[in-house]
Amino acid sequence: MSQQVKVPSVGESITEVTISNWLKKDGDVVKLDEVIAELESDKATFELPAPQAGVLKISKQKGETVPIGTVICEIQGDGKPAEVQPAAQESKPKPAAPAAGSALAKATGAVKEMKVPAVGESITEVTISTWLKKDGDLVKLDEVIAEVESDKATFELPAEATGILRIVAKEKTTLPIGGLICKIEVMEGAGEGSVASAASASTAASVGDANYAAGHPSPAAAKMLDEKGIPASQVSGTGPGGRITKEDAMKTQPAAPEPKTAAATTTAATTGAPAQGSKGERREKMTSLRKTIARRLVAVKNETAMLTTFNEVDMKPVMDLRSKYKESFKEKYGVGLGFMSFFTKAVCAALKEFPAVNASIDKDEVIYHDYCDISIAVSTPRGLVVPVIRNAETLTFAQIESEVVRLATRGRDGKLSIEEMTGGTFSITNGGVFGSMLSTPIINPPQSAILGMHNIVERPVVKNGEIVVRPIMYLALSYDHRIVDGRESVSFLVRVKEMLEDPGRLILGV
């Protein structure tokens, strides 16, 4: 028997990959799970293992860029006759009694539990949008059995084993990452040529360990979750068998909507510009990720009364302070003194004075936060992420700087947890690192305001009646006018400016 090897779905926003290298040559004998090729997407490089043993027949060459799902090679069976195949093809196993007396489809007794895969770093849950297979159906390995939707994208769910599908999560149910979607009662020898018994055997060995009680909240946890308005299905339990303990419930925060600042990420055009002078144009299907971003950005614009106020900061005092203490700060704390700590401290102090800027709207109520959880936009190779500095108001400059470094490093390594990226009360974004002079950032609901930092440019300014050259940064504060009044937002930004222009105020709280 032979099996066609397709480019697997490697991530929701990845539509195509480039074959960067074939590690095996055409005609080579390959073993099961042996890496045969390296593929490259715009986000990562990954290895392609052989789904079965046999002789490799390459159909797409090194350097070719192919969409997900393309057949790039075929692995021909290792000479053993495919005795069951013809019969299997003509008799469609009946879902009701698939194993009954059928030599073709033999239940192995193993059950493969399929859980929601981690589909993206900021995605905490997915919704089963459509089951393409019914409960009790016979499904084949890698066959698409359901369509699953996250708040960012829709993707297809391939069967992780061949066997009888036992649906656990019904359509329209929302599951957390790791939540149990369905079980497959693994069967051997069923279906068409694509199923190697070796594959079922290997899946049988990796049966999941979550049990029937996974996600079951303890009585106290159930009450707490209900009060927070969090469905138990969104919490991953740490108790025995995945049970949700009271501690799990205490730690869980309602999922914050995806930070809108993520929209700043642009998906670069993947191919080169058309030749000069030509009138060529291309139409590309919008990825679901892009569509979701588009929809949500418009939603913020539509559903909030957002506007932006500006001010300018003379950065000289901060820069002076910084150059003066740079060395000793670094020596003492092991972390560089950057601008973020100044901005974060100034923001926290100003938030205390203008609580509405730190508040959020929940239906007919305004939630005021007594703490400042500051979301900071961090640019990473995988896109923009927005981790949160918790209780920034209690942190020292050094603690803020090391937290920024820690979060940025984790972001760059793709290690940020969902929890680290949810629940901020105010955001800071720095378009200045890309050279932006001035912009109007979009708020990150349910937050009510976002501070935009920009580049520092030497400008002529008038001080004491004289024109002097000063390092100036423009600041932008976008805010939701529904709960933040103009007076508050403008005063807030003025306070931030004052404290940055006279950092002594930060110490004295004046």
Which residues are identified as catalytic? Answer: 481, 485
Query: In angstroms, what is the minimal distance from the CB of 230 to another protein?
Result: 11
Question: Residue 426 belongs to what H/E stretch?
Answer: strand 426-430
The one-letter amino acid code at 327 reads E
Query: How far is it, in rounded angstroms, from Cα 99 to Cα 66?
Result: 39
C-alpha distances (whole Å) from 111 to each of 187, 200, 206 are 9, 10, 9
Closer of 219 and 280 to another protein (Cβ) = 219
State which of positions 193-212 bind another protein (CB under 8 A): 211-212
Which residue in the block uniquely carries the two structure tokens 């829709």? 154
Among residues 419, 482, 417, which one has the least CA distance to residue 446?
Answer: 482
User: How many of the other CB atoms lie within 10 Å of CB of 445?
Assistant: 20
Q: Are 147 and 156 in contact (CB under 8 A)?
A: yes
Contacts of 104 (CB under 8 A, 6+ apart): 84, 87, 88, 91, 93, 189, 190
For residue 93, what are its two tokens? 């196993």
Task: Please select the residue that binds another protein; options are 117, 178, 239, 471, rule is CB under 8 A.
Answer: 239
Task: Please select the residue that binds another protein; options are 213, 286, 294, 510, rule is CB under 8 A.
Answer: 213
User: Which one of the spans 90-98, 215-223, 248-256, 330-338 is the region binding another protein (CB under 8 A)?
Assistant: 215-223
Q: How many residues bind another protein (CB under 8 A)?
A: 13
Query: In angstroms, what is the minimal distance from the CB of 222 to another protein?
Result: 5
Q: Are 181 and 115 in contact (CB under 8 A)?
A: yes
Closer of 212 and 368 to another protein (Cβ) = 212
Which residue in the block uniquely carries the two structure tokens 């896109």? 383
Closer of 250 and 468 to another protein (Cβ) = 250
Query: In angstroms, what is the minimal distance from the CB of 250 to another protein?
Result: 15
Task: Please select the residue that binds another protein; options are 43, 243, 406, 459, rule is CB under 8 A.
Answer: 243
How many residues are recorded in the chain? 510
Angle at 44 (CA atoms; ends 38, 48), nearest 5 degrees: 30
Task: Please select the residue that binds another protein; options are 218, 287, 402, 455, rule is CB under 8 A.
Answer: 218
Task: Please select the residue that binds another protein; options are 69, 240, 414, 504, rule is CB under 8 A.
Answer: 240
Query: In angstroms, what is the minimal distance from the CB of 213 to another protein?
Result: 4
Q: Is 226 in the site for another protein (CB under 8 A)?
A: yes
Residue 55: phi, psi to the nearest 5?
-100, 130
Closer of 96 and 273 to another protein (Cβ) = 96
Closer of 12 and 185 to another protein (Cβ) = 185
Among residues 363, 502, 501, 339, which one has the least CA distance to residue 428?
Answer: 339
Closer of 123 and 168 to another protein (Cβ) = 168
Q: Is 222 in the site for another protein (CB under 8 A)?
A: yes
Binding site for another protein (CB under 8 A): 211-213, 216, 218-219, 222-223, 226-227, 239-240, 243
